């Protein structure tokens, strides 16, 4: 076995590389808080918790910070992938979970055909929301107030991981989409190896230092699902999977990427030309 050795004045010591790594890993485990552990540790945290209240009050600033640096570049890749897909269509587009409106910077289709919805009131008074006045609606994605077969495309960007009862959302999206319509999704690779480590090295440190909040509580409260959870639930719907893309490596692996994009298609009725 390879060994790493060092000499101190008056003594020498040798430790195997294996033991050395295990020693470091043991110390790191007391610091690191990956998503699954956060969910177990703070399973009962509620919106009344002081850290969650602080997060909700500063949500706009939190989101802007999350798009800085290399993390922001990778997240924006998901926006660009979806914007390229929506540019392929001339029909109406609905975004569920508009939030702070980041995707409006990337949407390149006809603005008159771009409709947005959001469940919370957190961002409603921002300039971005005012810019989509007349095409925006505050509503629950599990009860969309639209007729069936209305939209050619529905998009959801870094939003589904926050929602309970996802099957209700999927049923509603399926209902309001036209036949052969597309549901375009961007998700964090939550609980993937790269995403967990990346969060520890970037977002978690920044948020805890700048905002003095327990970021593990925030993640446990805000992220209901991992990437694989959501993908498995999509597989149980009537949608047909189309294209996929992962960033930044482009390799089809949750563990090796930070962001995953998925295209789901509403099949045409039986007997209709495809």
Torsion of CA 39, 41, 46, 49, to 10 degrees: -130
* 31 inside domain: no
- 54 part of a folded domain: yes
Q: Is residue 10 part of a domain?
A: no
Report yes or no: 184 and 263 within 8 Å, Cβ to Cβ: yes
Tell me the two tokens of residue 44: 């009962």
- Whether 201 is covered by a domain: the verdict is yes
pLDDT at 7 > cutoff 50: no
Give the structural domain span for 111: 45-265
Query: Which residue bears the tokens 């409709």?
Result: 115
pLDDT at 268 over 90: yes
Average confidence (pLDDT) over 160-185 = 97
Strands 93-96 and 151-157 turn out to be: parallel
Residue 206 — very low, low, confident or very high, per pLDDT cuts 50/70/90? confident
Of 60 and 20, the structure prediction assigns the larger pLDDT to 60
- Is residue 123 within 8 Å of 103, Cβ to Cβ? no
Least confident range of 46-50, 184-188, 200-204: 200-204
pLDDT of 62 reads: 73
Tokens of 69: 């640096």
How many domains is the chain partitioned into structurally? 1
**190 inside domain:** yes
Q: Tens digit of pLDDT for each residue in 66-115? A: 787 888 899 999 999 999 999 988 899 999 999 888 999 999 999 999 99
Q: What percent of the chain has pLDDT over 70?
A: 86
| In a domain? residue 33 | no
Res 273: pLDDT: 56
pLDDT of 37: 93
99 found inside a domain:
yes
Tell me the per-residue pLDDT of 241-267, one tens digit each, with 9 for 90 and over: 999 999 999 999 999 999 999 999 999
Mean pLDDT across the chain: 85
For residue 166, what are the CA distances in angstroms to 66, 161, 198?
24, 9, 26
Per-residue pLDDT of 218-242, as tens digits, reads 999 999 999 999 999 999 999 999 9
Residues 6+ apart with CB under 8 A from 172: 141, 142, 143, 144
Domain with 117 in it: what CATH number? 3.40.50.150
Give domain status of residue 175, yes or no.
Answer: yes
**In contact, 94 and 117? CB cutoff 8 Å:** yes
d(CA 133, CA 112): 11
**pLDDT for 31:** 52
> 227: closest CA among 196, 205, 267?
196
Residue 147 pLDDT: 97
- Report d(CA 18, CA 15) in Å as an integer: 8
For 22-38, what is each residue's pLDDT tens digit? 343 343 333 567 999 99
């Amino acid at each position: 076995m390879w060994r790493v050795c060092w000499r101190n004045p008056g003594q020498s010591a040798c430790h195997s590389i294996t033991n050395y790594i295990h020693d470091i890993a043991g110390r790191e485990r007391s610091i690191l808080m990956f998503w699954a552990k956060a969910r177990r540790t703070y399973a009962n945290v509620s919106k009344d918790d002081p850290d969650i209240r602080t997060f909700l009050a500063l949500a706009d600033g939190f989101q802007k910070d999350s798009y800085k640096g290399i993390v922001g570049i990778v997240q924006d890749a998901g926006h660009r992938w979806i914007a390229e897909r929506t540019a392929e269509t001339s029909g109406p587009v609905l975004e569920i979970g508009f939030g702070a409106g980041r995707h409006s910077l990337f949407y390149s289709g006809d603005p008159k055909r771009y409709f947005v919805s959001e469940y919370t009131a957190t961002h409603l008074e921002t300039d971005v929301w005012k810019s989509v006045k007349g095409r925006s609606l505050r509503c629950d994605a599990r009860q969309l107030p639209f007729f069936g077969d209305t939209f050619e495309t529905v998009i959801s960007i870094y939003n589904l991981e926050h929602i309970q009862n996802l099957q209700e959302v999927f049923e509603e999206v399926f209902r309001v989409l036209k036949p052969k319509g597309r549901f375009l999704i961007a998700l964090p690779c939550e609980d993937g190896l790269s995403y967990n480590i990346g969060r520890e090295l970037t977002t978690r440190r920044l948020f805890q230092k700048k905002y003095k909040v327990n970021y593990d509580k925030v993640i446990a409260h805000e992220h209901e699902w991992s990437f694989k959870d959501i993908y498995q639930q999509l597989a149980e719907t009537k949608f047909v999977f189309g294209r996929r893309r992962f960033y930044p490596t482009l390799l089809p692996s949750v563990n090796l990427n930070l962001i995953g994009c998925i295209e789901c298609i509403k099949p045409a009725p039986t007997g209709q030309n495809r």
